[in-house]
Chains A and B, each alone.
Chain A
Amino acid sequence: MDVDPAGGPPTTGPGTPDPSGGDPVAFARPPATSSWRHRHLLDVDVLSWAEIELVLRTTDAMREVLARPIAKVPALRGTNVTILFYEASTRTRVSFEVAAKNLSADVVNIAASSSSVAKGESLVDTVRTIEALGARMLVMRHPTSGAPHLAAEHFGGHVLNGGDGWHAHPTQALLDLYTLRERLGTGAEERFLRGRKVVILGDILHSRVARSNIWTLSAAGADLWLCGPATLLRGFEAWARRGVHGAADGSRVTVTSDVAAALRDADVVMALRIQRERMAGGLLPSLREYAARYGLTAARLAEARPGALVMHPGPMNEGVEIAADVAAGPRSLITDQVTNGVAVRMALLYILAGAEGAGR
């Protein structure tokens, strides 16, 4: 595995809080977090490229921790991390939980149902209660876009957005970027997706994964293509025309329903989950038709560059948005995404813990 030590020797600068408890042996000396300006991780659109790089380099250190026989460091010892999910998602919840435990945090899991939202239980009250119970870090997922921003207004610690509505899924976008850097980064070039064609294929409209990836992949310089049926792309053409703020030079976004054009010479194809509700909403005629026209099959992937990489944020509907042989094929990064998810989340918990008093 080529773990990139780019960015100079990792140091812990003077004045930087050292959450490892000062035990240099127990920890792989991650880079200093003093360049990080945010108290919370609510969205990726506010991150500078330098901050994104800090996450990637810190993740390198966490990968090193994960490679040890006992993948545990004391960085967050005594810190209460509360995981509050208003939507069921075993994958993301467990990933955060493992990440927090690897850093020796005390983890509290709260599964609030969406029905408690409907019942009028106030998110603000819930957040205040969680803080009163000692939480310093709050990982939350919520079906309403912007809910973590509201929580951040009322929480004295750090809020990590584990996915909100259709809006943002910052840790997913950062783990996707990290996973691509492992394969495509040279270590020398900072915007490592420059000149690479990256396709996001599927239900863009309802996807927080797509929205967050638009920011991070553009920041890394990708030639980004958003592809799906027109009903699932509404609004994105206007965004693409306006451009993505913070994008690297040369990065551009193309929106199309033409799957062949999108896949031609692609370096990376990221397929998104298609949900059954889209039929009820009148946005798709049938899953069968979607699979036939937009499903990522081996035949379609043949249009891409030889060795093109395949990604999926999970959970997958195999045979719908992605064929089983593609998902399990040699070009698939899907299991890497899962592994890196833990490392990225460890990195983010670590960085935020060192970011006392910073701004939003």
Chain B
Amino acid sequence: MTDLDISRAWLVDPAAGREGPGEIVVRGGILAAVTWLEGVEAEGVDDRGIVVAPGFIDLHTHLREPGNEDAETIASGLAAAAHGGFTTVCAMANTKPAADEPGVVALVTAAARASGSAVTLLQYGAVSVGRNGETLAALGELADSGVVGFSDDGAPVRSAALLRSALLYAGMAGLPIVDHPEDPDQTVGAEASEGVVATVLGLRGWPRSAEASAVARDLAVLADVLEDEPRARLHLTHLSTSGALELVRAAKARGLPVTCDVTPHHLALTDEWLAGARRWSWEAVDGDGEPRDPWADGVLVAPPYDPILRVNPPLRAADDALACLAALVDGTADAVATDHAPHTVVDTEVEFGLAANGMSGLETALGILLAGVDVGRLLLGTAIAALTTGPARVLGSRLGRPIGLVEGAPADLVVFDRKATWTVSVAKLATRGRNSPLLGRELGGRVLATIAGGRLAYEDRG
């Protein structure tokens, strides 16, 4: 069990709605003392130095075990999580076999325990048997086995009828349905977000309306089932368009029990990366918020069609990316989720249109968000809340622990240095999925230590 003394750091406790200079003492894995400094003692401590925050929670992680251990194992995925500052990850059900019955959940839970990692693995169950979109999985049994929600992610819940049943069944257990909103009829063969970049590059367009129309469907079904099952809850994951976020904003305003998340890559990267640009979304617009022209700007520095950038939903234009950022700021988006999707080189060193969807994200999420904080697009407290209290709210009691810097509880926190940078490299990444578009890029906010449930999960050794 860990002992740790951190004096004169910048503490962020979104649960208490507080941040500022302070000291942390961990004894035998218990957060023994949290002291907030004031006055003279606090002088010279600011949020640009050492930061201590509650351990991060990822609502959307793809671990590839069982079925595709070449891409990731539970052990390597949890190591990546710890390196990224995450102390809890929620594993999606699209393994092989899918987590559509308690046996698979038990297997994953056992593998997590066997890995020795201090990071907590929570598991989603599939909505449908084999994620086939046809037959409802054994949601009640899965709930009893401890899953934190249900998702067919990788694909949307196929039909509105199935979603209706799923919301009712999951509602009985007090668990959310986590949907990947996409109308597949509109996205057959889609390679990139419909728009100028896709047009110029000759890539098949993924229309933005394919996301909004799926969200509208989901919300309509949710509103309808609440009458029969008021505990029904919907979580929409990796929203990427202003239209979809606008629908959620309105649904929340009228009190529907819906939550949503956005990913680091959708709020900070844009489709112009496919053409070879490498600037953040907020750099891709001018002072009036109008998109800049990457071809005219001479920012196309990388080869086009990098298959690592293929992701579903696809990277969007800057206006949508900035809408994701704005949704985080105004609370429409409850959380940032990584959609960590490791793949093997075999799956990504191929033609763009044949590449597997998804990028590796656990270890770069913090750095991406801090880039937004650095330019004043995001408050540090908002970024941390999106990685802690936001996801905790989505998980509810299934998280099984308090969140925040709480004296007397097992320490669950991350310590990072805002001034220290690190260069993303294969050598530095713990994930087996080397499919990060940020390889070679310098990110701020190096994680110094991650303590999960009182145990050291990661420590920076230079």
Contacts and interface: CB of A to CB of B under 8 A. Distances in A.
A138 to B, nearest CB: 15
B92 interface: no
Contacts of A234: 194, 199, 205
B350 interface: yes
Contacts of A122: 346, 349-350
Contacts of A152: 303
A159 to B, nearest CB: 12
Interface string B344-357: 00100111111000
Contact of A146 (B195, B199, B205, B353): B353
B303 A124 contact: no
Interface in A167-189: 167-168
B195 A235 contact: yes
Contacts of B196: 235, 238-239, 242
A165 B303 contact: no
A238 B194 CA distance: 11
B296 A145 contact: no
A146 B350 contact: no
8 contacts: A45-B200, A123-B351, A124-B349, A146-B203, A146-B351, A149-B304, A234-B194, A236-B199
A246 B18 CA distance: 53
Interface in B295-339: 295-296, 303-305, 307
Contacts of A246: 295
Contact of A149 (B194, B305, B349): B305
Nearest to B203: A145
Interface-centre pick from B202, B303, B346, B353 (highest chain A CB count, 10 A)? B202
Given A165-B202, A235-B194, A235-B199, A145 B350 contact: no
* Secondary structure dominating the interface of A: mixed
Given A145-B203, A147-B351, A235-B205, A153 B295 contact: no
Interface of B: 191, 194-196, 198-205, 293, 295-296, 303-305, 307, 346, 349-354
A245 interface: yes
Contacts of B194: 234-235
B189 to A, nearest CB: 10
Interface in A214-257: 234-236, 238-239, 242-243, 245-246
Contacts of A117: 351, 354
Contacts of B191: 145
B198 A168 contact: no
A145 B293 contact: no
Contacts of B198: 235
B439 to A, nearest CB: 15
Nearest to A169: B202
A261 interface: no
A142 interface: yes
B56 to A, nearest CB: 35
Contact of A145 (B195, B295, B352): B352
B295 A45 contact: yes
A245 B350 contact: no
A317 interface: no
A124 B191 CA distance: 20
